[in-house]
Amino acid sequence: MTTINDQTYIEKTIKGDTNAFSHLVEKYKVMVFSLSMKMLKSREEAEEVSQDTFIKAYKNLSKFKGDSKFSTWIYKIAYRNCLDNLKKNKEKYQTSTIDEITIDKINSTDNILEDISRNERAILMKECLNRLPEEERTLLWMFYYDELSLKEIIEVTEYSESNLKVKLHRARKRLLRVVEQNVEPELINHYGRK
């Protein structure tokens, strides 16, 4: 599944050509750093975790068998490094309980959000995502922003398919609750209720 270019650089690196690995770093550094920033919310920690990710990938490159894409493999390393960093720092994220959400409230929120420009929606959604627990925020980010398939997310997180689907469902519900509690009142004040 690895692209021919990636495979060539991997083989050269394993044979001792350290310059070949720099091509892989260059190709995937934005992806790794972006994930690290989303999960850690600290530029300094994201840079450190990104560097650690490439060091770990370099040291374990001979273990990469090519069963998945190289990008998925390195994404998984970055994801695990971020989780380790979060556990180490014991940063607590406030969570709110999920109450039952009625279809009317969902539709009402959707209708209001349709009236806002795409850019404003993106800013509001990022703010709402940042209020979610780290795991839920990361899963939603992987699925919707990084556009990873369920299969790729399963490879990265090592969740079963059914567990991942449940976690994504719960994350969507919690995100909707955050939108409802934090964004909807502001929008109603600004745009009025439909």
Considering the domain delimited by 4-89, tell me its CATH architecture.
Orthogonal Bundle (1.10)
Q: What are phi and psi of 160, to 5 degrees?
A: -75, 160
- Taking only the tens place, the pLDDT of each residue in 72-128 is 899 999 999 988 898 887 644 433 334 444 454 554 455 544 544 555 666 777 888
Domain ranges of the chain: 4-89, 103-191
Predicted confidence at residue 184, as pLDDT, reads: 62
Predicted confidence at residue 129, as pLDDT, reads: 87
Considering the domain delimited by 103-191, tell me its CATH architecture.
Orthogonal Bundle (1.10)
